[in-house]
């Protein structure tokens, strides 16, 4: 993954670690998509989204906006996404279920020729709404393209 060797998420803590991973994976996922490594790029972008949602629920201040029920599994991306939409943190225009199905396809196929622009645009919209983007890529450590 794009964060290999660039961070120690556990040492960074429950907020900074997932946030930093999300940023690294947005950058790395975009690079992979542009290089034609579509399946790897989609999977990397999904991990960026996962990290962003993990970051969101790691803060008690942000959690006040979500009001989860006692039986809501905050380790489940589907549940967290639903809560983000219900609480109006996200506008709900991004089709998380369709993207999740695309990720499943990417795990088994190289997706050569897949037009990723809509999926990437949807992810970027979610990242903007969550406050992850924009960010200064120059503040990130230099990427090692050898990570794939």
User: What pLDDT, on a 0 to 100 scale, did the predictor assign at position 138?
Assistant: 84
The structural domains of the chain, with segments of one domain joined by +, span: 9-133
Instruction: Give residue 7's pLDDT.
Output: 52
pLDDT band at 148 (very low <50, low <70, confident <90, very high): low
Identify the weakest region by mean pLDDT among 48-52, 64-68, 95-99.
64-68
What is the distance between the alpha carbons of residues 57 and 145, in angstroms, rounded to a whole number?
31
The contacts of residue 62 (CB under 8 Å, 6+ apart) are 56
Separation between Cα atoms, residue 53 and residue 100, nearest integer Å: 14
Q: Which has more pLDDT, 1 or 13?
A: 13
Predicted pLDDT at 60:
92
13/101 Cα distance (integer angstroms): 30
Considering the chain, what percentage of its residues have pLDDT values greater than 90? 76
pTM value is 0.87
Q: DSSP labels for 18-35? A: HHHHHHHHHHHHHHHHHT
Enter the tokens of residue 139: 């503040």
Mean pLDDT score across all residues of the chain: 89
């Amino acid at each position: 993954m794009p964060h290999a060797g660039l961070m120690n998420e556990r040492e960074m803590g429950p907020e900074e670690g997932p946030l930093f991973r999300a940023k690294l994976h947005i950058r790395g996922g975009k690079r992979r998509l542009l290089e034609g490594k579509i399946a790897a790029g989609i999977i990397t972008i999904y991990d960026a989204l996962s990290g962003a949602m993990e970051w969101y629920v790691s803060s008690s201040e942000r959690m006040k906006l979500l009001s989860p029920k006692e039986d809501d599994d905050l380790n489940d991306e589907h549940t967290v996404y639903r809560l983000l939409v219900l609480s109006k943190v996200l506008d709900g225009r991004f089709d998380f279920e369709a993207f999740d199905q695309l990720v499943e396809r990417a795990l088994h196929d190289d997706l050569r020729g897949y037009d990723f622009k809509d999926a990437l645009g949807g992810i970027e919209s979610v990242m903007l709404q969550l406050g992850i983007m924009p960010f200064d890529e120059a503040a990130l450590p230099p990427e090692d393209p050898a990570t794939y």
